[in-house]
Structure 1
Amino acid sequence: MTDPEIDYRAVYNRLPAGIALLTPELCYADANEAYLLLAGRPLRDLVGKYIFDAFPDSPQRAHTVNGPTTLGASLRHVLDTRERDSLALQRYDVERPDRPGTYEERYWSTINTPILDSAGEVVLIAHRVEEVTAFMQTKGEGAPNNRLQAEVYMRARELQEINERMRAAHAREREVALTLQSALLPAPRPVGHRAAVRYQPAVSALNVCGDWYDLVDLPDDRTAVAVGDVVGHGLTAACVMGQLRSALSAASRVTDGPADALNVLGLYARSVEGAESTTVVKAFIDWSGRTITYSNAGHPPAALLHPDGTVEFLDQATDPPLGARPHHQSRPQASVGFTAGSTLVLYTDGLIERRREDIDVGLARLASTLSRNPRSDPDTLADTLLAELIPPTGATDDTALVVLRL
């Protein structure tokens, strides 16, 4: 006996809760029968339409924290975080189909859930709504008659306001942290040789400012380059990042190679709160000898793009992140030769990692993009990497990138 085939379309249409499917651009893709009944519109009038064009709130409430303001923040939060968001009970007035310009006071319980593809990216949002207007029995501006209903309503409004304040606080912290990050990172200019650097913030306010890059001209026709990633986000990560970047930059000037520089950084990091588990890759480039000597502390491997389009990942001197061992140990280093016209690429995990995806998939994606662009200049290649490897909706982690023509 075989299991009966389930008609999921029929189940979707018969669900008692109203559910609409929204695209990442917040346009209607579909809606079930319960949602269309609540909306008072046929499906053909909704598909392809921006949700807030289809359902604007009452113009009389434009000066308040109205329905579109709250719902829009929730939907953007779902797109940014890939996490479900439940809204507190909210008022969202609806225009009467039979009387254009006349809005009815309506109250809703709303849950927005991301639908992800195999790469962990949001392809749809399940926008579930249940109307609770009948339970409110309002009189005046949102003041329920029933005492218990009023208490529930007030608590819901308080939770909504707390949620909005937290989002505003996160947005302010993001702005301050990004300003600090910009001040701490060196200016994006060539250092001795042709180089391009990029810093791409995460789309989420909570996932920025742990990444850094550094380029240092050294005596004897050498250049030191590094990229690192602090565990943590926001202002705290930006401050830790600034300390570690400065320490490594200084160590590069007084040590013989990348392993010694990371040894110094590792000892210093043990005294910096929040520096544990930081990852970093450091390389010394000898232009005269055409060699790259590198050491890696738990970071994604640097990529060496040869002029013929082949890509070599520098993964022969990999060690745990800073502070991962209970006691300090010296780090390894390795060397590799290069030919003129090669390109060295250092980056942080925001460029390659995706949720629920093996890192090898991201590395293969990077190698594929590099191999198609062996002759691109550093600035063009840096822009190409960000355009092709960062999802259209933005990365969930920030990205630092250095592209150096050898």
Structure 2
Amino acid sequence: MTPRQTPQIDYRAVFQALPAMVALMTPELVYADVNEEFVRQSGRSHGQLIGRHLFEVFPDNPNDPGATGMRNLEASLLRVLATGERDTMALQRYDVESLERPGHWEKRYWSPINAPVLDRDGRVALVLHRVEEVTELIRARGRHDGRERDAHGRTSVLEAELYSRAHELQEVNERLRRAHAREREVALALQDAMLPAPRPMGHHRSAVRYRPATGALNVCGDWYDLVELPDDRTMVAVGDVVGHGLTAAGVMGQLRSALSAASRVAPGPAQALEVLGLYARSVDGAESTTVVTASIDWNSHILTYSSAGHPPPALLRGDGTVEFLDQATDPPLGARPEHAARPQASAAFGDGDTLVLYTDGLVERRNEDIDVGLARLARTLAGHLTTDPEQLADILLFDLLPPRGATDDTALVVIRL
């Protein structure tokens, strides 16, 4: 029996045969290619489209002071370029100038969808602009509504009503986006104010980073902290509050401050987390928060740590091996109905070792086992054994976060021991 052969597909032929209008545009919004249906429906030839800027070919109708088609389309395309995500637009009225009758603008209705085409590095290389031309559909509904005697008037009324509703929907969407963007700015400013800058730790070097999710309208509740303790010790912690926006940022601030205070008086990280767990019961939105904290004893060269459901810290040894500190892991805050003592473990470290604490945005990916992300982190660390913490922090973000940007916030602390 002859094995079934996979047919060779001519994707350019498929592109040209698509029944909908489809165009490919560069990130500069210049036409790179169009299919035959786009040429037919737009009334423009390939030569009048390819290599020209979108709004040079299709400007707004200058006779309509309320025209918003160009502005709305540009905003959608820029969102795709910024986020790498598809954007579906509301019904648009976007008039087109007749080439046969210069100065005469034809009233047209379009339903556009814009989608990213990514390169091998995950960056937006092209934007696929697909359009359904629905002008005749709208007019047909007006002609066949059972009132033929005033079909022209009914058609005009229906067109105006549909355009008005689409315009209102577009405005509502824009207001929501602006409101979410303002909330994001406030939450980021709040997080920036509450997250401390790295403090000098003698001759020990450290670096901290916080990266909000790319394209997200809300930030999350990730945090980090470094606290100088008596007897030449340092507490370092990272945590992740469930939720988004100002609420999560507010909860994050309360928990970070509470853990910072508890670490100053508790005998060890486990006891500090126990105090934090009790406090979290009185804070709405603190349930299921994950956090890991470690105490660095610079005299004895001992790390003592405890984790509440958080990804394990990574300890890069001087020989290039990476040890994940996962011997004291317990459920997240509020996961148990009754209070219970938390586990604690220790690990020795040598001069020149590197400790890395992070939130799950650095290593977790959708549809991927967490072990894959941890292995990726270990490989990157092993390849930068002597890199300065500041440079290493940037390398970790560059190597481990998706090229299109992370879908979750990321907090990161790197300490050279």
Q: How many angstroms does 1:334 deviate by?
A: 1.2
- Matching residue of 1:159: 169
Code of the residue aligned with 2:23 in structure 1: it is A
- Matching residue of 1:32: 35
CA distance 1:56–1:285, change in 2 (3 Å): farther
Q: For 1:3-36, what per-residue CA distance to the aligned partner results, in whole angstroms no more than 9, with x for missing partners?
A: 9848473444323212234567766665433233
Could you state the TM-score of these two structures normalised by the residue count of structure 1? 0.86
1:250-289 mapped onto 2 (5 Å cutoff):
250-289=261-300
In structure 1, C-alpha distance between the alignment counterparts of 2:223 and 2:279, rounded to whole Å:
17
Q: Does 1:244 align with 2:255?
A: yes
Please say if residues 52 and 68 of structure 1, whose CA atoms lie closer than 8 Å, have aligned partners that are also in contact: no
CA distance 1:144–1:298, change in 2 (3 Å): farther
Code of the residue aligned with 2:71 in structure 1: it is T
- Matching residue of 1:128: 130
- Matching residue of 1:360: 371
Q: How many angstroms does 1:248 deviate by?
A: 0.5
State the SS of the aligned residue for 1:171. Answer: helix
Please say if residues 170 and 205 of structure 1, whose CA atoms lie closer than 8 Å, have aligned partners that are also in contact: no
Give ranges in structure 2 of 5+ residues lacking alignment: 140-152
- Matching residue of 1:330: 341
Q: Does 1:18 align with 2:18?
A: no
Q: For 1:248-301, what per-residue CA distance to the aligned partner results, in whole angstroms no more than 9, with x for missing partners?
A: 000100111111111111111111111111111111111111111111111121
CA distance 1:83–1:151, change in 2 (3 Å): same
In structure 2, C-alpha distance between the alignment counterparts of 1:250 and 1:57, rounded to whole Å:
60
Q: Which of residues 78, 90, 107 is equivalent to 2:109?
A: 107
Please say if residues 16 and 34 of structure 1, whose CA atoms lie closer than 8 Å, have aligned partners that are also in contact: yes
Please say if residues 20 and 130 of structure 2, whose CA atoms lie closer than 8 Å, have aligned partners that are also in contact: yes
1:73-152 mapped onto 2 (5 Å cutoff):
73-78=75-80, 84-94=86-96, 105-113=107-115, 126-134=128-136, 146-152=156-162
Please say if residues 55 and 94 of structure 1, whose CA atoms lie closer than 8 Å, have aligned partners that are also in contact: no
Q: How many residues align?
A: 401
Q: Does 1:168 align with 2:170?
A: no
Could you state the TM-score of these two structures normalised by the residue count of structure 2? 0.84
In structure 1, C-alpha distance between the alignment counterparts of 2:374 and 2:66, rounded to whole Å:
48
State the SS of the aligned residue for 1:146. Answer: helix
1:191-340 mapped onto 2 (5 Å cutoff):
191-192=201-202, 193-340=204-351
Deviates more, 1:242-251 or 1:321-330: 321-330
Q: How many angstroms does 1:50 deviate by?
A: 8.3
CA distance 1:159–1:322, change in 2 (3 Å): same
State the SS of the aligned residue for 2:415. Answer: strand
Code of the residue aligned with 2:36 in structure 1: it is E
- Matching residue of 1:372: 383
Q: For 1:300-358, what per-residue CA distance to the aligned partner results, in whole angstroms no more than 9, with x for missing partners?
A: 21111122322221112112211122222221111111110011111112222222222
Larger Rg: 2
Q: Which of residues 171, 178, 185 is equivalent to 2:188?
A: 178
Identity percentage of aligned residues:
65
CA distance 1:211–1:76, change in 2 (3 Å): farther
Give ranges in structure 1 of 5+ residues lacking alignment: 138-142
In structure 1, C-alpha distance between the alignment counterparts of 2:225 and 2:63, rounded to whole Å:
50
In structure 1, C-alpha distance between the alignment counterparts of 2:227 and 2:377, rounded to whole Å:
25
Q: For 1:346-375, what per-residue CA distance to the aligned partner results, in whole angstroms no more than 9, with x for missing partners?
A: 111222222222222222222222111111
- Matching residue of 1:385: 396
- Matching residue of 2:200: 190
CA distance 1:301–1:151, change in 2 (3 Å): same
